[in-house]
């Protein structure tokens, strides 16, 4: 009963602070402060300072701003235009035609970005006008962009996986490798949806593309060389064990600067804009992580995580039943919080549960990312929906309806992961061990 009272108090304080417009990181610190004052005799100020400093000085966390900066640099290049030119000739003849450029383009850019919003903005700014010009259904253009952009959260380098790894003290490199195969399978499921819809939908009447000789397709593929080279440097350095996630991020920043300079997109203005954009995003995430670290400590002092873990154990839920409860829980939470906030806010309570249930932490990281991806396209707080609204001018209801099939595909992906857990664990278990 005491655990329930503590939970109710924490939720009340949290949503009261969030409802007044307080930043998420500060709201988490406020909840932790109340918990420490009411349920412990420790000096709250000293504990908060020590905890925040420890959370902010993590060496693993340095990969985060570097990957964010790499994505900001690439966002300001002509990468999306080049990707469209390189991909379109090969995808035009597939069932569903050039809509596949949304999915494949997002998959490729996700491998050099790590951010769902950056992936969506970069691919969308080029593909939306091109697909509209060819009379593809607006719902499919919007829906595939909303869903496929979430691959930026799973395919390495993933900011969400970095945050998850730091929160539970797990190898970032192993988590990155775990996200590769599920990310590709989810992209394939999106493409299958497009192919089937193009065959059965009565609204599908795009303008036919002119046939292109093989030689010209090969020539156009040169536009993909820069981004594929950057992916090879970032992922390959970790795959071969030459670099930690942080060092690979540094290689990525250098590669992105070289790519931008080679395209003529690098100027002092774009350099400064990318640096400031990365600083703002990194500071926001760092504040959330600092607040979550303090909240985790406060919850530990109250005994709440251990108490909830015992309660779950007494309910004798099977692993599948526990995962279904967590699936619904995170979907509901994602309606009100962004993905990173959802992860750091809940890990202190959820981690003991999944450890007690014997669930692999690497696998659970991919499970969490898939569910967090759903949150990106779930009203009322789905961030991708807001980005698309700004890009297209459509009302939120239209965008949410267009994205709903992608939401259902992600739900199906959860069951695929449960049925085939090796999708997430085979690569990190069998690959050459990378440092860090």
Which pLDDT does position 434 carry in this prediction? Answer: 45
Hey, what are 334's tokens? 């994602």
Sign of dihedral through CA atoms 275, 29, 348, 329? negative
Query: From the CA atom positions of the chain, what is the Rg in Å?
Result: 22
Would you give the DSSP letter of residue 157?
Answer: S
Which pLDDT does position 305 carry in this prediction? Answer: 60
Query: Please, are residues 350 and 299 in contact by the beta-carbon 8 Å criterion?
Result: no
Buried b (16+ CB within 10 A) or exposed e, 382-409: bbbbebbbebbebeeeebbebbbbbbeb
Rounded Cα–Cα distance for residues 379 and 389 (Å): 12
pLDDT in tens, the chain (436 residues): 555 676 677 777 777 876 777 777 788 788 888 888 887 777 888 888 888 787 777 666 777 788 778 878 877 777 767 777 888 888 878 888 888 988 988 888 877 776 677 778 778 877 888 888 888 898 999 999 988 888 877 888 787 888 888 888 888 888 988 999 999 999 999 999 999 998 888 878 787 767 777 787 788 888 888 888 888 888 788 777 788 778 888 888 898 899 888 888 888 898 999 899 888 877 877 787 787 778 777 777 776 666 665 666 677 778 898 899 888 888 877 776 667 777 877 787 788 888 888 889 999 999 998 988 887 787 766 777 877 887 787 888 888 899 999 999 999 999 999 999 999 999 888 875 544 4
Distances (CA, A) of 376 to 67, 149, 335: 20, 9, 9
| Domain assignments of the chain as residue spans, ordered by start | 57-430
Q: Which residue from 204, 198, 254, 194 is spatially nearest to 229, judged by alpha carbons?
A: 254
């Amino acid at each position: 009963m005491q655990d329930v009272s503590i939970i109710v108090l924490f939720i009340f304080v949290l949503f009261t602070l969030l409802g007044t417009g307080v930043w998420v990181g500060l709201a988490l610190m406020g909840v932790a402060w109340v918990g420490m004052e009411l349920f412990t005799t420790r000096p709250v100020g000293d504990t908060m300072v020590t905890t925040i400093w420890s959370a902010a000085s993590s060496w693993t966390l340095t990969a985060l701003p570097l990957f964010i900066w790499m994505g900001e640099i690439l966002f300001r290049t002509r990468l999306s235009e080049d990707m469209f030119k390189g991909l379109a000739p090969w995808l035009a003849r597939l069932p569903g035609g050039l809509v596949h450029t949304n999915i494949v383009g997002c998959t490729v850019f996700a491998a050099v970005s790590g951010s769902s919003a950056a992936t969506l903005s970069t691919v969308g700014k080029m593909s939306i006008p091109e697909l509209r010009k060819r009379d593809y259904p607006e719902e499919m253009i919007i829906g595939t962009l909303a869903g496929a952009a979430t691959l930026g959260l799973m395919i390495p380098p993933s900011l969400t996986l970095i945050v998850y790894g730091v929160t539970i003290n797990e190898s970032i490199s192993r988590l990155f490798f775990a996200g590769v195969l599920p990310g590709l399978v989810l992209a394939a499921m999106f493409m299958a949806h497009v192919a089937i819809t193009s065959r059965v939908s009565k609204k599908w009447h795009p303008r036919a593309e002119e046939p292109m000789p093989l030689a010209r397709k090969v020539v156009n593929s040169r536009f993909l060389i820069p981004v594929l080279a950057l992916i090879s440097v970032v992922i390959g350095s970790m795959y071969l064990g030459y670099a930690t996630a942080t060092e690979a991020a540094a290689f990525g920043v250098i590669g992105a600067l070289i790519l931008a300079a080679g395209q003529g997109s690098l100027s002092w203005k774009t350099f400064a804009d990318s640096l400031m954009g990365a600083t703002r995003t990194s500071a926001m995430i760092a504040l959330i992580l600092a607040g979550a670290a303090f909240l985790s400590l406060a919850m530990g002092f109250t005994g709440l995580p251990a108490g909830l873990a015992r309660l779950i154990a007494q309910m004798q839920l099977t692993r599948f039943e526990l995962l279904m409860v967590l699936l619904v829980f995170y979907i509901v939470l994602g309606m009100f919080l962004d993905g990173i906030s959802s992860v750091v806010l809940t890990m202190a309570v959820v981690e003991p549960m999944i450890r007690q249930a014997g669930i692999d932490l690497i696998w659970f990281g991919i499970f969490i990312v898939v569910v967090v991806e759903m949150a990106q396209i779930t009203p009322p707080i789905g961030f991708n929906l807001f980005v698309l609204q700004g890009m297209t001018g459509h009302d939120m209801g239209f965008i949410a309806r267009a994205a709903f099939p992608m939401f259902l595909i992600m739900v199906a992906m959860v069951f695929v992961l449960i049925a085939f857990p090796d999708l997430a664990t085979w690569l990190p278990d069998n690959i050459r061990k990378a440092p860090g």
